[in-house]
Structure 1
Amino acid sequence: MRWNIWVDDWQMQCCGDPFSVGSTVSWTLCPADRGWLTRVLGERTAATIDWSEEHHSDPSDDQLRVEGRVTHISAVHAHLERLPGEDACHPVRGVLSPQTDADGWTPDQNDLSFVGYLVTLAVDP
């Protein structure tokens, strides 16, 4: 089976190990934040993402530990905007750019900021 996994830029930069298409990874997953992902990637793409890779939360019943093979990586770059009633900028209207590897330090693209990766993981049932 194949799962689409969200990988935050900051999580990867802090504690993540670089990976590439074809790599076998062992990740802790938690349910994806569909509201946030919808703002960044749109409703259609966000609906395909069930999990987020996680390094920093305390263990909980909704987490899952998996091992799988990376079959696709897209870097996600987004516009940063202040949302109504917010002081901080948030990513919106993201763009996917396929790539062969990920290290957490993908450069920004002009006025688009790198915010993370969308990774397809093949997981044995």
Structure 2
Amino acid sequence: MRWNVWVDEWQMECCGDPFHVGSAVTWTLAPADREWLTRALGEETAATIEWGEEHHDEPTAAHITVEAQVKQISAVHARHVQAEGETYLHPADAVLTPLTSADGSRPPTSDDDRDFIGYVVTLETDQ
């Protein structure tokens, strides 16, 4: 089975273990925050992401732990915008860039208007 998983840049930067395409990983996953992902990545991309990798929240019945192989990694860079009627900025208009590895450092981008916000990682598992 293949799953697309969201990995927040701050979680990876804080205490994530580096990984690369082909790595075997054991991750705790929580259901993806589709509303946030849709705003950041757009509806089409967000619809492909079922899970978010989680290091900090206490596990609940909704969390699962998987052993999987990393098949694909994309860095996500987005603009931060303020929607009408809101008082805070949120990521939007994201661009995905393929990578071969992720180590928590900020991958470069050719677009200075976008900030690194995380990764979309494709995992393959037998579960």
Global fold match (TM > 0.5)? yes
Q: Does 1:122 align with 2:127?
A: no
**Which secondary structure does the structure 1 equivalent of 2:5 belong to?**
strand
Specify the alignment match of 2:106 in structure 1.
106
Q: How far does residue 108 in structure 1 lie from its aligned partner after superposition?
A: 5.1
Distance 2:71 2:107 in 1: 22
1:52 aligned partner = 52
Provide the residue aligned with 1:81 in structure 2: 81
Residue equivalent to 1:42:
42
Letter aligned with residue 113 of structure 1: D
Secondary structure in 1 matching 2:17: coil
What displacement does 1:104 show?
A: 1.9
Deviates more, 1:6-15 or 1:104-113: 104-113
Distance in 1 between residues matched to 2:118 and 2:5, nearest whole Å: 11
Contact 2:75–2:107 (CA under 8 A) maintained in structure 1: no
Aligned residues: 125
Shift of 1:83: 2.6
* Aligned positions of 1:16-35 closer than 5 A: 16-35=16-35
CA-CA distance at 1:85 after TM superposition: 3.6
Moved more, 60-69 or 75-84: 75-84
- Structure 2 unaligned regions, length at least 5: none
With normalisation by structure 1, the TM-score equals: 0.95
- Could you tell me how far 1:41 is from its partner in structure 2? 1.0
In structure 1, distance between residues paired with 2:52 and 2:25:
14
Note if contact 1:77-1:108 (Cα within 8 Å) is conserved in structure 2.
no
The amino acid across from 1:48 in the alignment is T
What is the letter of the counterpart of residue 119 of structure 1?
Answer: V
Whether 1:13 and 2:13 are equivalent positions in the alignment is: yes
Aligned-partner Cα distance in 2 for 1:107–1:90: 20
RMSD: 1.1
> TM-score normalized by structure 2?
0.93
Read off the aligned partner of 2:15 and give its amino acid letter: C
